[in-house]
Amino acid sequence: MRIVFLGAPGSGKGTQSQRLIERHGIPQISTGDLLRAHVKDGTELGRRAKAVMDSGQLVDDATILGMVRERLAAPDAARGFILDGFPRTIPQAEGLAKMLADIGRPLDRVIEFRVDPKLLVQRISGRRSCQDCGRVFNVHTAPVPVPPPCGGQCTTPRLVQRPDDNEATVAKRLSVYEEQTAPLVGFYAATGLLRKVEAEGDLAAVTARVEAALAP
């Protein structure tokens, strides 16, 4: 299946992707993760993107579309994918539609994650990820399980907070979402692909609602 997860920062797209990828045998493609890998590796793209990301703004559409085109050409994406955090603007959505039309594999479904905006700041400020395996936890809602994940590799997960998860940058990211990304709800509603999911509450219950929204 070719799926887009659409929703504000902190709405749970990444967490739910992690829960669904094994079951569906498709990769999660997060443009935020791809960008953070560039930053970590010190590539030219990463150097350009870092300041933009730290300020809570969006990286330019051409850079993002080039990065996604390359990632979608990898063999593991042939059976489908969950796009997490992409597209984030109307030009990105149009670019994606064209890219997929060119290979004759259009999107199957767009899931909108709906969360009360008041909850988002709390969720994001509690977010921590394991420096070694990348798994995401939340000090409020999803503490590190015992035994730890990663088949024991991360016996003591080294939890870090993303530099853009601080309160000031989060406020900026949420306003950028409202201005530039929320219009995609109307864009995808018009295509008939959009399903809305209430994304608050128990993780497993949200997963069940997402699965129901993905059913044919």
Smallest distance, ligand AMP to C-beta of residue 110, A: 14
196 is annotated as an active-site residue: no
Using CB under 6 A as the binding rule, whether residue 64 contacts ligand AMP is answered as yes
Q: Which is nearer to ligand AMP, 88 or 109 (CB)?
A: 88
Smallest distance, ligand AMP to C-beta of residue 147, A: 27
Residue 55: both structure tokens together: 């300020």
Q: What is the enclosing helix (H) or strand (E) of 136?
A: strand 136-138
Q: Which long-range contacts (CB under 8 A, 24 or more apart) does 206-214 make?
A: 206/12, 206/16, 207/16, 207/19, 207/20, 210/16, 210/20, 210/111, 211/20, 213/109, 213/111, 214/1, 214/3, 214/109, 214/111
128 is annotated as an active-site residue: no
Compute CA distances 36 → 54, 70, 158, whole Å: 11, 16, 17
Site string for ligand AMP, 170-189 (x = CB under 6 A): ---x----------------
Using CB under 6 A as the binding rule, whether residue 32 contacts ligand AMP is answered as yes
**Among 2, 109, 173, 209, which one carries the catalytic annotation?**
173
88 is annotated as an active-site residue: yes
To the nearest 10 degrees (0 to 180), the angle between helices 44-54 and 31-41 is 120
Using CB under 6 A as the binding rule, whether residue 53 contacts ligand AMP is answered as yes
Contact footprint for ligand AMP (CB under 6 A): 9, 31-32, 35, 52-53, 56-59, 64, 85-86, 88, 92, 164, 173
- The set of catalytic residues is 13, 88, 127, 162, 173
